[in-house]
Amino acid sequence: MGEAAHRVLGLTDSEFDLIVEKLGREPNRVELAMFSLLWSEHCAYKHSRKLLRRLPTEGERVVMGPGENAGAVSIGEAHAIAFKVESHNHPSAVEPFQGAATGVGGILRDVFALGARPIAILDSLRFGELDSVRSRHLLDGAVRGIGHYGNSIGVPTVGGEIYFEAPYEHNCLVNAMCVGIAKRDEMVRAAAAGVGNAVVLIGASTGRDGIGGASVLASAELGDGDEAKRPTVQIGDPFEESKVLECCLELLGKGLLVSLQDLGAAGLTSSASEMASAGGVGIDIDVARVPLREADMEPFEIMVSESQERMLAVVEPGRVGEVLAVCEKWQTGGAEIGAIADSGLVRVLRDGEVVGEIPVEALVDGCPLYDLEPAEPDGWIYGNRATLGESATPAETLLALLGSPSVASKRWAFEQYDSIVGSRTARRPESADAAVLAIPEADAAIAVSIDGNGRRVACDPYAGTVEAVLECAQNLACAGAEPLGLTNCLNFGNPEKPATAWQLDRSVQGLADACTALGVPVVGGNVSLYNEGPEGPIYPTPVVGMVGELPDPILAAPSAFAAAGDAIALLGPFEPTLAGSELAKLRGELEAGLPQPDVAAVAAACAAVRAAVRAGLLASAHDVSDGGLACALAEAAIGSDLGCSVDLQHLRERGCSPEEALFGEGPGGFVISGAREKLESLAGDGVAVLHLGKVGGETIEIAAGDRSLTVPLGEAENAWRSLAV
């Protein structure tokens, strides 16, 4: 076994040399496999870790920050809301059903590893355009996979977003977010502690799932008929996970665990070494004691297997029997497989004989971190494809936008998800701008949103990322919620390429600046790089998940109009342009550049809407995003089955053309409805309220100079509800 093996496993020559230097010798088969995984981009964040240090992570409500299995913020006197988002992009592109399902499974485990009961799932998905058979296949598989896992385990999927853009054709994105609730004094950290304590593996047996490239290390040749050695796609079993979840929560409730970690990417290798690193201890794992699905697995296979539905626990020796009894009650696996040592080493044994040993520090923190070499690309690098003709009338344009899959209703997808199990869901998908869940334990409620627009980030990575954070804050404001914390998944191309490095650098800076300006800490997140193929990288896609608090779930405003005769107004510093807009995309006119957002002004608008919603002053509140103001008005009308008649004159007085007023995009716009005096009372102190018109009738009538339009409500609804596979 020579040099070639390390390259096949993704390690560079200089990384291999560094390993040899740290060990004082060449690594053996088991050790090489472990290094190749822990030193991979996915686990080590080699190209992003330095950048992520810019993010603000502290705040008085933060209970758990980055570095733990998930982040958490306090709520009420005694509770915490745990949450995190993670990607499962590459597996979903290969096998969308299981890729998406196991993505959900993985993020659920991250949350209950803290001792929090999962109470909600949200998903942010990106595919190529729907005229591609492949993209329809991936969309269908991913939606079924998310539904399968979430529905079966009984955690409601309450929100999400789906976008369709050509740059994602070969690299789809599946980002899964989970929210959970815990009692603050029952939460547990991942750091292993207590030399002499036992290490217990809980859950499913270990097989060859996800071994992938490491199979080059198999000691026997891969023969044509040798099925048993072939690496397999990770298969999720939500029923097993429901048993593991109840088992772990019971163990934590009874104080039987010193620490807990889920097994995800790189399986036992990453869990064991990360737990040991966090605790400043060593760890011994005897692979002969790991319950196996296939009897002839080699030590390296057992250490890198990504079999699902497994957790690693540290337990005081005297309590191992009680722990195994709880596992037995829940009919899930439990096995003592090792111990915490004073060695500072991760030692892999087979039946007591050492088959690999690596200093913890070398494995977890020894990986070199790379600086990016960013260089701004020359203009727009993603191409354009026009699908809407020059001669389209304003009415036809509105219908084309409403029917565009990225803008259209996602009801086809969310009706495949159980959004109500658990009895907390006060606002189901599409009824309000954010999902709203009751938290009676804390006499409060939370609102959750997940947002990101890769195309706009591609136009300007800094401004586009700031906009993503503002979008979340605006959605939460419509629900009357104050942001408590943020999680993010950074989905980018190859960071070794200067243009992508530039996108990543600018995007992280935008995220840091927006979070600092809004006072919202980043409590955790995930990075997925190398999302690109021969045709080029995906749009730079930072996905932001935000959790906010409101005093009473019934306050959250609906997105749709409520009653004929209600006044309609536009609140906020909205200054729309066609830059980066869905209309520019349909016309094939995308180019680099976005206006710089005025974060303070948008924050003031959010505060005004939040206060108004809490005071019951608004009949509806809906933030303006994809497709611009005309689409926001149409969505509010369709949802209420009531038309509207509005005039955009006041908005045009801000200096935008009729077309920009109708279809331009940008942050800071809220469509609100209700009694006219109440709407107008919100103006003042830097917050503008523009009267637009009123609710009623059977058409959507928008006066906008020479671009005025009238569209029958039924036609608008047919266009907006056209997305299905």
Partner 1 sequence: MVWGVVQFPGSCDERDALHACELAGGEARLIWHESRDLDGVDAVVVPGGFSYGDYLRAGAIARFSPAMEAVAEFAAGGGPVLGICNGFQVLCEADLLPGALLVNDNLRFVCRQVELVDDGDERLSIPAKHGEGRYWAPDEMLDAIEAGGQVAFRYAPGQNPNGSARDIAGVRNEAGNVLGLMPHPEHAVDAMTGSTDGLRIFEALARVGNPA
Q: Of the residues 6, 47, 88, 622, which is catalytic? A: 88
| Residue spans of alpha helices (H) in 404-551 | 411-414, 454-459, 461-478, 498-518
* In the complex, least distance from residue 261 CB atom to partner 1, rounded to whole angstroms: 24
The residue range among 341-349, 418-426, 484-492, 625-633 that interacts with partner 1, by the rule CB under 8 A, is 418-426
Whole-number Å distance between alpha carbons of 120 and 425 = 9
Report helix, strand and coil shares of the chain as percent, to nearest 5.
Answer: 40, 25, 35
Is 49:369 a contact under the CB 8 Å cutoff?
yes
Which of positions 592-611 make contact with partner 1 (CB under 8 A)?
none
DSSP H/E element including 679: helix 676-680
Q: What is the DSSP letter of 306?
A: -
Does the footprint of partner 1 cover residue 149 (CB under 8 A)? no
Q: Which CB sits closer to partner 1, 112 or 300?
A: 112
Q: Which CB sits closer to partner 1, 242 or 581?
A: 242
For 341, the token pair is 């040592």
**CA distances, 725 to each of 138, 170, 400, 522 (Å):** 10, 19, 18, 36
Does the footprint of partner 1 cover residue 118 (CB under 8 A)? no
Does the footprint of partner 1 cover residue 417 (CB under 8 A)? yes
Residue among 18, 113, 153, 190 that touches partner 1 (CB under 8 A): 153
Active site residue 650: no
Q: Of the residues 42, 47, 148, 622, which is catalytic? A: 42
Burial 439-467 (b: 16+ CB within 10 A, else e): beebebbbbbbbbbbbbbbbbbbbbbbbb
Whole-number Å distance between alpha carbons of 223 and 3 = 23
Active site residue 42: yes
Is 653:575 a contact under the CB 8 Å cutoff?
no
Does the footprint of partner 1 cover residue 147 (CB under 8 A)? yes
Q: Which CB sits closer to partner 1, 6 or 243?
A: 243
Does the footprint of partner 1 cover residue 274 (CB under 8 A)? no
Does the footprint of partner 1 cover residue 554 (CB under 8 A)? yes
The residue range among 86-94, 149-157, 335-343, 395-403 that interacts with partner 1, by the rule CB under 8 A, is 149-157
Ramachandran area for residue 325 (φ above 0: left; ψ -120 to 50: alpha; else beta)? alpha
* In the complex, least distance from residue 416 CB atom to partner 1, rounded to whole angstroms: 5
User: Bridge partners of 485?
Assistant: 547
Q: Which CB sits closer to partner 1, 381 or 420?
A: 420
Whole-number Å distance between alpha carbons of 547 and 178 = 11
Q: Which CB sits closer to partner 1, 81 or 244?
A: 244
What is the rounded end-to-end Cα distance, in angstroms, of the chain? 49
Does the footprint of partner 1 cover residue 707 (CB under 8 A)? no
Does the footprint of partner 1 cover residue 415 (CB under 8 A)? yes
Which of positions 434-453 make contact with partner 1 (CB under 8 A)?
438
Kindly give, in sequence order, each residue whose CB lies less than 8 Å from that of residue 7, ignoring residues fewer than 6 positions away: 13
Does the footprint of partner 1 cover residue 553 (CB under 8 A)? yes
For the chain, the farthest-separated pair of C-alpha atoms sits apart, in whole angstroms, at: 82
Whole-number Å distance between alpha carbons of 625 and 607 = 18
In the three-class reduction of DSSP (H, G, I as helix; E, B as strand; rest coil), residue 61 is classed as coil
Q: Which CB sits closer to partner 1, 130 or 703?
A: 130
Is 694:609 a contact under the CB 8 Å cutoff?
no
Q: Which CB sits closer to partner 1, 124 or 242?
A: 242
Q: Which CB sits closer to partner 1, 240 or 575?
A: 240
Q: Which CB sits closer to partner 1, 247 or 711?
A: 247
Residue among 6, 109, 243, 497 that touches partner 1 (CB under 8 A): 243
Is 81:72 a contact under the CB 8 Å cutoff?
yes
Does the footprint of partner 1 cover residue 422 (CB under 8 A)? yes
The residue range among 205-213, 371-379, 409-417, 514-522 that interacts with partner 1, by the rule CB under 8 A, is 409-417
**How many chain residues bind partner 1 (CB under 8 A)?**
31
Ramachandran area for residue 373 (φ above 0: left; ψ -120 to 50: alpha; else beta)? beta
CA angle 281, 283, 285 (to 5 degrees): 175
The residue range among 274-282, 379-387, 423-431, 607-615 that interacts with partner 1, by the rule CB under 8 A, is 423-431
* In the complex, least distance from residue 562 CB atom to partner 1, rounded to whole angstroms: 16
Whole-number Å distance between alpha carbons of 647 and 38 = 58
Does the footprint of partner 1 cover residue 151 (CB under 8 A)? yes
The interface mask with partner 1, positions 298-337, x = CB under 8 A, is --------------------------------xx------
Does the footprint of partner 1 cover residue 253 (CB under 8 A)? no
Q: Which residues bind partner 1 (CB under 8 A)?
A: 144, 147-148, 151-154, 237-240, 242-243, 330-331, 414-426, 438, 553-554
**Positions marked catalytic:** 42, 88
